[in-house]
Chain A
Amino acid sequence: MFKRLFIAIALIAPGTAMAANNVSLSSDVFIERKVAKPNGTTAVVLEQPKTVIPGDNLVFVVKYKNVGSAPASDFSVTNPLPKAVAFNGTSDGTEIVSVDGGKTWGPLSALTYPRDNGDVRPALMTDVTHVKWKFSRALSAGSEGKLIFRGTVK
């Protein structure tokens, strides 16, 4: 009974109840805009958009930080892709992905996607539904980092 109550508290207020290893997570979405520079070259700048149009390239940045006093083990970060966004890769390739709504996971090259006729084909970036980073080491107190992936507005 006591344990069940403890879990309930954890679900209601995970941050405050678990002061020992308290991780904060923030999400930012940027749009790449090409800006012509006076010298004739084109620069790519990142802006935080309110609106986008199909074809726009987006950069998703997830920042994490262990703001608690103890390490957080088995740390992983998951970002389900918004329906209107096609996955366009990460910058480091260390992610695992799912193409079936988060049921199975792996590097994209190891996944398959069912065709309409029941066959399977190698999974494509546009099939990706979730992106995940799993950390093999505990996130020590005070440590932080960023995870970045890219997507295109369908």
Chain B
Amino acid sequence: MTRQEKPACEWRSHPLAAIPVRRRLSLAAGAAALLLTPVSAQAAGTVAGTDIVNVAQATYDGPSGGSPVTIDSNIVTIKVDELLDVTVVSSDPGDIATSPALTGQATTYQVTNTGNGDEAFTLSADTAKPGDEFDTTFEQIILDSNGNGVYDPGVDTIYTPGTNDPVLAPDESINVFILSTIPASASDADRAEIELSAVASTGSGTPGDIFAGQGDGGGDAVVGSTGASDEDSGFFLIQAAEVTLVKSATIVDPFGGTEAVPGAVIRYQLVATTTGTGNLTNLAITDDIPADTTYDAESITLEGAALTDAPGDADAGAFDGSSIAVSLGTVPGGQTRTITFQVTID
């Protein structure tokens, strides 16, 4: 270097404009640490295999005011490597209510390629996580082939590791279902954790690990910030309910006593008590009219209100000639329903 030019810039107002090059370069080194903040890139960034080609140009006037001359610098080409990144997120908004002994119960996940190359991902399910109240029996992993986010039996594709590992483009997602069988032994309010893991097929590990030459587009594959592996969990919650029925009778005889003699009226009371966190759907209570008694017409009550005997009408009561029936519909756990009816001893 013989001497330094002073390229005073056209923007003369800039305080650094007149500083000689050598001075400016030392400022450059000092400023380097302050300028490290990365520019936020797109989610996946530049596609793997892209060449970054840089050429600078200089323009100056030819001799004695001649035509401008433009020259190109050398060309620098850098290839963008494949970044291996993946995220797994449970798509279920909360615990999935289920009941003991059900099969084909689905938890839903979204697997997203957050890297910058086409990449296949190996999926695995863990239904035996510690720290929950029960484990389900793993059935299958299903790929949402029609992309509607809902498990469609017979439509969506059964996943077999190593055979149909989903290949995702940069930023592409796929919905994945894990099907479970709920054990019959599971109790009301028990929870089960179901985890889906996705691992980049090229490799995973510590961010920065390099798989030389294995990147999409011909470069290297580099493990990204996710470690090229991720997992998330969905949860099942058992919501069961049970009903217990208690029957009692009071007798009023024609003489004002409580003797079970012909002509005495027996008033039966049925108390249905539901327990548990779930619902009992279409709960119906029926009771046969005992032998040697005659049903007192229109005597059914529910919660103290009279019901009619006619079957199929708007109210819940019915008498078919041999037994009474009361349809209670869907009853949540933790409630009681009291039914009464009367018979007369023949």
The 0/1 profile, CB within 8 Å of B marked 1, for residues 114-135 of chain A is 0000000000011000000111
Which residues in window 7-30 of A have CB below 8 A to B? 7, 10, 14-15, 18, 20-21, 23-29
Interface size class of B (residues with CB under 8 A): 35 or more
Q: Does A1 contact B (CB under 8 A)?
A: no
Interface centre among A27, A86, A148, A153 (most CB of B within 10 A): A153
Q: Does B163 contact A (CB under 8 A)?
A: no
Interface centre among B5, B14, B44, B50 (most CB of A within 10 A): B5
Is B36 a contact of A44 with CB atoms below 8 Å? yes
Q: What is the chain B residue whose CB lies nearest that of A20?
A: B63
Contacts of A78 in B (CB 8 A): 56-59
Is A10 a contact of B67 with CB atoms below 8 Å? yes
Q: How far is the CA of A152 from the CA of B81 in the complex (A)?
A: 14
Q: Does A55 contact B (CB under 8 A)?
A: yes
Q: How far is the CA of A49 from the CA of B76 in the complex (A)?
A: 10
Is A84 a contact of B46 with CB atoms below 8 Å? yes
Contacts of B237 in A (CB 8 A): none
**Residue from the list A14, A54, A80 in contact with B83, Cβ < 8 A:** A54
The 0/1 profile, CB within 8 Å of A marked 1, for residues 39-75 of chain B is 1011011100010111111111111001111111111
Q: Does B149 contact A (CB under 8 A)?
A: no
Q: How far is the CA of A85 from the CA of B46 in the complex (A)?
A: 9
Is A92 a contact of B28 with CB atoms below 8 Å? yes
Q: What is the chain B residue whose CB lies nearest that of A19?
A: B63
Contacts of A40 in B (CB 8 A): none
Task: Give the distance to chain B from A28, nearest Cβ to Cβ, in Å.
Answer: 7
Interface centre among B27, B76, B80, B220 (most CB of A within 10 A): B76
Q: What is the chain B residue whose CB lies nearest that of A69?
A: B63
Contacts of A142 in B (CB 8 A): 2-3
Q: Contacts A21-B62, A25-B73, A32-B36 known; A153 to B52 CB distance under 8 Å?
A: yes
Q: What is the chain B residue whose CB lies nearest that of A86?
A: B39
Which residues in window 3-54 of B have CB below 8 A to A? 3-12, 14, 16-17, 19, 21, 24-25, 27-28, 31-33, 35-36, 38-39, 41-42, 44-46, 50, 52-54
Is A52 a contact of B11 with CB atoms below 8 Å? no
Q: Does A79 contact B (CB under 8 A)?
A: yes
**Residue from the list B16, B54, B72, B220 in contact with A93, Cβ < 8 A:** B16
**Residue from the list A21, A27, A84, A154 in contact with B56, Cβ < 8 A:** A27
Q: What is the chain A residue whose CB lies nearest that of B40?
A: A126
Task: Give the distance to chain B from A148, nearest Cβ to Cβ, in Å.
Answer: 5
Q: Does B129 contact A (CB under 8 A)?
A: no
Is A79 a contact of B54 with CB atoms below 8 Å? yes
**Residue from the list A10, A91, A134, A139 in contact with B32, Cβ < 8 A:** A91
Contacts of B45 in A (CB 8 A): 53-55, 153-154
Task: Give the distance to chain A from B73, nearest Cβ to Cβ, in Å.
Answer: 4
Is B44 a contact of A146 with CB atoms below 8 Å? no
Contacts of B21 in A (CB 8 A): 145-146
Interface residues of B (CB under 8 A from A): 1-12, 14, 16-17, 19, 21, 24-25, 27-28, 31-33, 35-36, 38-39, 41-42, 44-46, 50, 52-63, 66-76, 78-83, 116, 219-220, 222, 224
7 contacts between A and B (CB under 8 A): A52-B79, A53-B222, A57-B36, A84-B80, A135-B10, A145-B4, A145-B5
Interface residues of A (CB under 8 A from B): 7, 10, 14-15, 18, 20-21, 23-29, 32, 44, 49-55, 57, 59-60, 62, 64, 70, 72-80, 82, 84-89, 91-96, 107, 125-126, 133-137, 139-140, 142-146, 148, 150, 152-154
